[in-house]
Structure 1
Amino acid sequence: MLICSTCAVERDEPAPALCPICVDERQYVPEAGQYWTTLDELAKSGQHTTLMESEPGLVSIGTQPKVGIGQTAQLVVTPAGSLWWDPVGYVDDHAVGAILEHGPVLAIAASHPHMFGVQVEWSNRLGGVPVLVSEADREWLGRGGPNVTTWSGSRTIADGLVLHQTGGHFPGSAVAHWAAGADGRGVLLTGDSVFPNPDRRSVAFMRSYPNHLPLSGSVALRIAAQLGDLEFDRIYGNFNNKIPSGAKEVLISSAQRHAAWSRGDFDHLC
Structure 2
Amino acid sequence: MTFSSSYVCVTCGTNTPADASGAPLATCIICDEPRQYVRSSGQEWTTLDSLKSAGKHTNTFTPTEADPENLISISTSPSFAIGQRGILVRTPKGNILWDCITYIDEETVARIKELGGLKAIVISHPHYYSCLKEWSDAFGGIPVYTHTNDKKWVQRPADNHIFWEGTSIDLLDGEIKVLCPGGHFDGSSLLLWNKNLLVADTMMVAASRRSVSFMYSFPNYWPLPPQDVKTVWKTVRPYEFDNILGAWVGKDIVGNGRNIVHESAKLYTQYCGHDTAKYYGSDAEELSFD
TM value normalised by structure 2: 0.87
Q: Secondary structure at the match of 1:100?
A: helix
Q: CA RMSD in A?
A: 1.4
The one-letter amino acid of 1:160's match is E
> 1:262, CA displacement in angstroms?
2.1
1:216 aligns with 2:229: no
Of 155, 158, 163, the match for 2:178: 163
Of 79, 84, 91, the match for 2:92: 79
- For 1:34-183, list aligned pairs within 5 A: 34-45=43-54, 46-54=56-64, 55-152=68-165, 153-158=167-172, 159-179=174-194
Q: Secondary structure at the match of 1:132?
A: strand
Aligned pairs, number: 260
Q: Is 1:22–1:29's contact at 8 Å kept on the other side of the alignment?
A: yes
Q: Secondary structure at the match of 2:38?
A: coil
Q: Name structure 1 gaps, 5 residues minimum.
A: 180-185
User: 2:270: which partner in 1?
Assistant: 260
Q: Which shifted more, 168-177 or 12-21?
A: 12-21
> 1:265, CA displacement in angstroms?
5.8
- For 1:167-246, list aligned pairs within 5 A: 167-179=182-194, 186-240=195-249, 241-246=251-256
Q: Name structure 2 gaps, 5 residues minimum.
A: 1-5, 277-290
Q: Deviations over 1:53-95 (max 9, x none)?
A: 2122111110011111000110001111111111101101111
User: 1:17: which partner in 2?
Assistant: 26
The one-letter amino acid of 1:192's match is D
> 1:264, CA displacement in angstroms?
4.6
Q: Is 2:179–2:235's contact at 8 Å kept on the other side of the alignment?
A: no
Q: Is 1:111–1:191's contact at 8 Å kept on the other side of the alignment?
A: yes
Q: Deviations over 1:157-203 (max 9, x none)?
A: 22331111110000000000012xxxxxx100000101110011110
Q: Deviations over 1:120-179 (max 9, x none)?
A: 100001111101111000000110242112002212222331111110000000000012
Provide the C-alpha distance between the structure 1 equivalents of 2:235 and 2:243, rounded to a whole number of angstroms.
16
Provide the C-alpha distance between the structure 1 equivalents of 2:160 and 2:79, rounded to a whole number of angstroms.
27
Q: Secondary structure at the match of 2:220?
A: coil
Of Structure 1 and Structure 2, the greater strand share is in 1
TM value normalised by structure 1: 0.93
The one-letter amino acid of 1:243's match is I
Provide the C-alpha distance between the structure 2 equivalents of 1:238 and 1:253, rounded to a whole number of angstroms.
20
